[in-house]
């Protein structure tokens, strides 16, 4: 897998110094002993497991290393490192799987298996950390990526849409300023409306173009310097009404393509935006 340029490796204290910029869209707290203790508060089984791993400080160090691997584009290493950290590592592992599934050229069957494993990992994480916004968000994220790979219509028939909605709603109830959850919820509405039409989407799933646009605008207001928010916003507009929204979608892609990436994930996003502009009029992910 590609790696970020050396200046984006975030060695040592650099990761903490840039954390708020790197996590502007998901508001993941800096993974130190205090954050781990807060997540585990009142959950005796987790407290015992943390001690068995060497304590909260040791667990925090492992989490920081996993995130460092993620931000420098070593997604496979981030998954392996996250898996070793139980529910606490599920967020970084599942984010890595989600990003890799979007851009990888590997065997589609293998990618689906990795997404299935991520879904199982996410389900365990939300069971153990029910109040962690990003446990819910990353479960919704991998469910969404899985749905896109098997087709939205198959995902609807399998009941996956309801699961995505459930975990996005839980994310936003815990963290209302979660920009990625807002944009994902916008895509939830846009994909269903785009596949079923406005009436069937509304009657069957409570999805609407108006709700999609509301979530997209909220996401952009919360994370104005994020390329992926603009790209997903543009993608959603094209799903809703390509003819009507193409000029705005192209402008959003143009803005995304102009960003200086903060890490390997954003480098992939910006590169995709530039390719999308070159391949107009598709603008499809």
- Model confidence at 5: pLDDT above 60: no
What is the pLDDT averaged over residues 144-152? 90
When pLDDT is cut at 50, 70 and 90, the band that residue 246 belongs to is very high
Instruction: State pLDDT tens for residues 177-225.
Output: 999 999 999 999 999 999 999 999 999 999 999 999 999 999 999 999 9
Q: Please state, rounded to an integer, the average pLDDT across all residues of the chain.
A: 92
Supply the DSSP symbol for 262: S
pTM of the predicted model, to two decimals?
Answer: 0.93
Residue carrying the six token digits 């205090």: 34
Structure tokens of 191? 């994909």
Neighbours of 42 (CB within 10 A): 7
What is the pLDDT averaged over residues 93-120? 95
- Model confidence at 76: pLDDT above 60: yes
Contact 187, 144 (CB under 8 A): yes
Nearest to 218 by CA among 196, 189, 191: 189
Nearest to 188 by CA among 176, 167, 203, 150: 167
pLDDT of amino acid 283: 60
User: C-alpha distances in angstroms, 41 versus 34, 51, 87?
Assistant: 10, 13, 14
Instruction: State pLDDT tens for residues 248-268.
Output: 999 999 999 999 999 999 999
Domains within the chain, CATH numbers bracketed: 1-149 (1.25.40), 177-285 (1.25.40)
Helix (H) or strand (E) holding 181: helix 179-196
What is the pLDDT averaged over residues 234-239? 96
Alpha-carbon gap, residue 109 to 16, rounded angstroms: 36
Structure tokens of 76? 């496979």
Neighbours of 195 (CB within 10 A): 16
């Amino acid at each position: 897998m590609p790696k970020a340029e050396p200046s984006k490796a975030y060695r040592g204290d650099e990761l903490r110094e840039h954390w708020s910029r790197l996590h502007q869209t998901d508001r993941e707290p800096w993974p130190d002993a205090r954050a781990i203790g807060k997540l585990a508060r009142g959950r005796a089984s987790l407290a015992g497991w943390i001690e068995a791993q060497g304590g909260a400080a040791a667990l925090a160090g492992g989490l920081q290393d996993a995130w460092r691997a993620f931000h420098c584009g070593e997604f496979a290493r981030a998954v392996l490192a996250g898996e070793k950290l139980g529910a606490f590592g599920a967020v970084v592992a599942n984010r890595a799987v989600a990003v890799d599934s979007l851009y990888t050229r590997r065997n589609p069957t293998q990618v689906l298996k990795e997404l299935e494993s991520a879904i199982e990992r996410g389900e365990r994480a939300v069971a153990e950390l029910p109040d962690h916004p990003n446990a819910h968000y990353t479960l919704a994220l991998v469910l969404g990526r899985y749905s896109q790979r098997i087709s939205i219509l198959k995902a609807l028939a399998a009941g996956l849409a309801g699961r995505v909605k459930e975990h996005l709603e839980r994310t936003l109830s815990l963290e209302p300023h979660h920009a990625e959850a807002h944009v994902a919820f916008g895509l939830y509405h846009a994909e269903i409306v785009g596949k079923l039409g406005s009436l069937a989407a509304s009657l069957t799933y409570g999805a609407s173009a108006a709700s999609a646009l509301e979530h997209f605008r909220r996401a952009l207001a919360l994370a104005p310097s994020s390329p992926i928010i603009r790209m997903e916003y543009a993608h959603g507009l094209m799903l809703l009404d390509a003819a009507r929204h193409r000029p705005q979608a192209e402008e959003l892609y143009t803005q995304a393509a102009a960003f200086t990436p903060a890490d390997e994930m954003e480098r992939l996003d910006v590169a995709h935006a530039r390719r999308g502009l070159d391949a107009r009029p598709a603008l499809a992910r």
